[in-house]
Amino acid sequence: MPTTTGDAPADPRAHLRADCSRCTGLCCVAPAFAASADFALDKPAGTPCPNLRADDGCGIHGALRERGFAGCAVFDCFGAGQHVTRVLHPGEHWRDGPATARSVFAAFTAARALHEVLWHLAEALDLHGDGPLRAELEAAQRDVEHLAQAPAGVDTTAQRHRVGPLLERVSLLARATEAGVGRELRGADL
């Protein structure tokens, strides 16, 4: 969890913000891409994108959209890339061999899902303030933070389902206090 320095509170989401300079290009290798409006090509999971350079940077970063990689321009790992690279697998690189690659990719996939849940919990805590669900939100945040320290093998779908109803309750409370709110728009084509 983030700490405070001096009198200024720490950014509770600092560790959930992507820092590509501290990663090994995991989002360019671990997930699969399907040729679509977001990706110019099919790429199997665990295969490096052809635009990934040897230094783990993107060879077309400045022209992602123009080159057909809009999905890359909007992808957010929620800090999972640097977490896996610097905390869970320090000194290891997915290029070190197939066993290391499998381990790193599994950790990245799970950490990314857990970090997304943590982002939503942090947003809910901001939105909810000192409301009646604060203790539950903080407990859920601690639990998911703990899981993110050893994410391989964690059932991330189960974690989303566990936290989802709590986030929904926060959402309902927030919408109940907004003027003019009351219509249920879940699933609506807006």
For residue 17, the SS3 value is: coil
- Helices 134-148, 98-128: crossing angle, 10 deg rounding: 170
Q: Over the stretch 82-96, which tens digit does the pLDDT of each residue have?
A: 999 999 999 999 999
Q: Which residues pair with 52 in a beta bridge?
A: 58
Specify whether the CB–CB gap between 62 and 3 falls below 8 A: no
Q: What is the reported pTM? A: 0.86
Q: In this predicted model, what pLDDT tens digit does every residue of 62-117 receive, in sequence order? A: 999 999 999 999 999 999 999 999 999 999 999 999 999 999 999 999 999 999 99
Largest CA distance in the chain: 57
In angstroms, the CA 132 to CA 1 distance is 22
